Structure 1
Amino acid sequence: MKISRIEREKKTVEFMIRLYCKKKEGNKSLCLDCEELIDYSKKRLDNCLYGAHKHACKHCPVHCFKPTMQSKMRQVMRFSGSRMIFYYPKETLVHLFNK
């Protein structure tokens, strides 16, 4: 069964935030800030104006994240982006080929 682009993006964002929380922040389980970022990101993706035709968020003309959340997400992506291939290889390849 093929999942929607939005659902795939939500899974990818969650993988990245979990990786950041564990490897960068050193938490054994998800901290409250990272849990909040996951929930916030999923809500933003659910309400994306472009739906299945969405751009990568960094190329989107509409910045729907609050500045504080956008800053935190940039930190997460900067850290987790290059490490994803080692921890979630299948998901990383799917993400890269479906940009």
Structure 2
Amino acid sequence: MRIIEREQRTAEQMIRIYCRYKEGNKELCPTCQQLLHYAHNRLEHCTFGEQKKTCRNCPIHCYKPEMKKRMREVMRYAGPRMIFFHPITTIKHFIHK
């Protein structure tokens, strides 16, 4: 699996956890769908391509301030819970980090 695809899958898993357990939605709400689409688009057009590191360690911050704030909120909530919902993804993320 390509690095970009793995990062997209990780972002989607985190957004789904946030939307379901923090916001109480069974399906992605329009706001979370918009964030997911934005995240996938940013990753697909990443300047570093397959040599990219995690976004946290990237020298170029390509998210608009509002989207960056929303993604940070999602990651703060979903990040610690990822080990319970997606343990393999979490381990791979920390190895890649």
TM-score bucket of the superposed structures, by smaller chain? over 0.9
Normalised to the residue count of structure 1, the TM-score between the two structures is 0.94
Unaligned runs of 5+ in 2: none
Q: Quote the Cα distance in structure 2 between the aligned partners of 1:96 and 1:62.
A: 20
Mapped partners of 1:4, 1:82: distance in 2: 24
Structure 1, unpaired ranges of 5+: none
Name the amino acid aligned to 1:22: R
Percent identity between matched residues is 49
Displacement after TM superposition at 1:44 (Å): 0.2
- Secondary structure of the corresponding residue to residue 81 of structure 1: helix
What CA distance in whole angstroms lies between the structure 1 residues aligned with 2:96 and 2:57?
15
- Amino acid in structure 1 at the alignment position of 2:89: E
Of the candidates 37, 40, 64, which is equivalent to residue 35 of structure 2? 37
RMSD: 0.8
* Bigger fraction of residues in helix: 2
How far did 1:12 drift? 0.2
Give the drift of 1:69. 0.3
* Large movers: runs of 4+ above 2 Å: none
Measured in 2, the distance between the counterparts of 1:66 and 1:46 equals 16
When normalised by structure 2's length, the TM-score is 0.96
- Count of matched residue pairs: 97
